[in-house]
Amino acid sequence: MLSFDITDKNIRIVKGTESGNKIRITAATELELNESVIVNGHVNDINRVAGMINRALKEANIADKEAVISISSNQTVFKELMIPPNPKESEFMKNVRIELKNQINIDDSYAVAYVIVGEPEDDENGNKVQKILATACPQDVVDSYRRIFNNLNIQLKSIMIGCNAITKVLLA
């Protein structure tokens, strides 16, 4: 599987395989970007970025049909929330969206993801709540990366938005 770390300044590409809870890196390359290609996470020229990635993959002799990507944008919002636990994923996500709308006024033009960062606990009223870190990013930013990887015929398994360092600290 390929892993892409994409910023405004560069794209880092790593190919690795997982076996027995160990990851083996088989290839890696880095692509420097000029200032106008990606700005604040927005891809200004999808075909150009797809072509640049394609050339970098060919030059480094890296090939795969699946990838995960990590993108960053200063328009990404992080918010710690306390949400009532719900075994149904769709209902839990609906509650996350409602709470984000109430607290920071995001609308349906944002892609939302979350990571559970604590065990269910009682709030001040005795109700069970789950601590999460929610991430909201403009949907058009996410969609531009989907279009790039569609052009490359690489299936995206996951799009991680923002700062993994924040998530890792909260999970610790």
pLDDT digits (tens, 9 = 90+) for 80-97: 999 988 878 888 899 999
CA distances from 15 to 62, 87, 111, 148, 155 (A): 7, 35, 27, 18, 14
Mean pLDDT over the full length of the chain? 88
Q: Output phi, psi for 96, to 5 deg.
A: -60, -45
Contact 129, 121 (CB under 8 A): yes
What does the block give as tokens for 136? Answer: 């909201």
First to last CA, the chain: 26
User: Residue 170: its pLDDT value, please?
Assistant: 46
User: Residue 50: its pLDDT value, please?
Assistant: 95
User: Residue 86: its pLDDT value, please?
Assistant: 80
Residues in the chain predicted with pLDDT less than 50, given as ranges, are 165-172
Confirm whether pTM is higher than 0.85: no
d(CA 18, CA 68) in angstroms, rounded, equals 14
Q: Output phi, psi for 24, to 5 deg.
A: -110, 120
CA distances from 130 to 42, 70, 125, 136, 168 (A): 32, 25, 14, 18, 17
User: Residue 171: its pLDDT value, please?
Assistant: 46
User: Residue 19: its pLDDT value, please?
Assistant: 84
